[in-house]
């Protein structure tokens, strides 16, 4: 780029890296319990790696050191991509077996991919900004839970004779407490 000094380019790229790093940090903390947050985080980290590579390549004088910087940056991005691909292959979403609806929010009972293990999640919205929070995570072999809305701020999960109640924050969809019994029964 003519008219812009190397220092100017480095400063602009550094500001871009800082902005993307802050966005990635927010995505990692996931204050709004976004269902697709892991994809936002993975994309922002890949973008930060690309910007950091461009920053270091811009700051490095021309010659072999700049090429080494570019090769290392591309290797880091490919490594990150392989890690994300491998990690996403390990996660299973389960299959929805029941759903309760209330004013745009849904309590979804999921059956695990590996056998009779159930979870109940609370979902709201749709598309890439759909929210999801875990309400109940059962142990393997437990009967299928039934879930219902008690009122706008409370949900209940019944498993056999056991009843678990949780409060729900309307904006962030934070659930408290999240129930994870360690053994069958109450």
* Residue-wise pLDDT tens digits, 76-122: 999 999 999 998 877 767 788 999 998 889 999 998 877 788 999 99
pLDDT at position 1, please?
53
In a domain, 186, yes or no: no
Counting beta carbons within 10 angstroms of the beta carbon of residue 104, is it exposed (0 to 12), middle (13 to 18) or buried (19 or more)?
exposed
What's residue 136's pLDDT?
A: 94
Name the 3-class secondary structure at 152.
coil
CA atoms within 13 A on the CB side of 43: 7
Rounded mean pLDDT of the chain?
91
Provide the domain count of the chain: 2
Give the residue with greater pLDDT, 185 vs 110.
Answer: 110
Same domain membership, residue 64 and residue 140: no
37 and 77 both lie in a single domain: yes
Q: Is 134 helix (H, G, I), strand (E, B) or coil?
A: strand
Domain that holds residue 64: 6-90
Residue 183 within a domain: no
Report yes or no on 24 lying in a domain. Answer: yes
Asked if 165 and 119 sit in the same domain, the reply is: yes
SS3 22: helix
Is residue 184 in a domain?
no
Give residues with Cβ within 8 angstroms of 183, minimum separation 6.
139
pLDDT at 176 over 60: yes
Residue partners of 134: CB distance under 8 A and separation at least 6: 119, 120, 121, 175, 178
pLDDT digits over 131-167, tens only? 999 999 988 888 889 999 999 899 999 998 899 999 9
For residue 148, what are its two tokens? 């219902």
**Could you give the 3-state DSSP secondary structure of residue 103?**
coil
Domain boundary among the residues 54, 75, 90 is at: 90
Distance CA 42, CA 39 (A): 5
């Amino acid at each position: 780029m003519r008219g812009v000094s190397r220092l100017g380019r480095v400063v602009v790229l550094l500001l871009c890296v800082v902005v993307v790093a802050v966005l990635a940090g927010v995505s990692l903390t996931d204050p709004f319990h976004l269902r697709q947050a892991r994809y936002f985080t993975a994309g922002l980290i890949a973008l930060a790696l690309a910007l950091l590579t461009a920053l270091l390549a811009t700051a490095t004088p021309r010659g072999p050191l700049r090429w080494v910087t570019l090769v290392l940056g591309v290797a880091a991005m490919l490594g990150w991509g392989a890690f994300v691909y491998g990690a996403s292959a390990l996660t299973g979403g389960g299959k929805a077996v029941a759903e309760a609806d209330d004013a745009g929010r849904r309590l979804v009972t999921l059956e695990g991919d590996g056998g009779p293990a159930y979870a109940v999640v609370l979902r709201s919205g749709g598309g890439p900004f759909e929210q999801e929070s875990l309400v109940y995570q059962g142990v393997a072999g437990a009967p299928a839970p039934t879930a219902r809305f008690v009122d706008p701020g409370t949900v209940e999960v019944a498993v056999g004779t056991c009843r678990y109640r949780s409060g729900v924050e309307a904006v962030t969809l934070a659930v408290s407490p999240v129930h994870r019994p360690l053994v069958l029964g109450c």
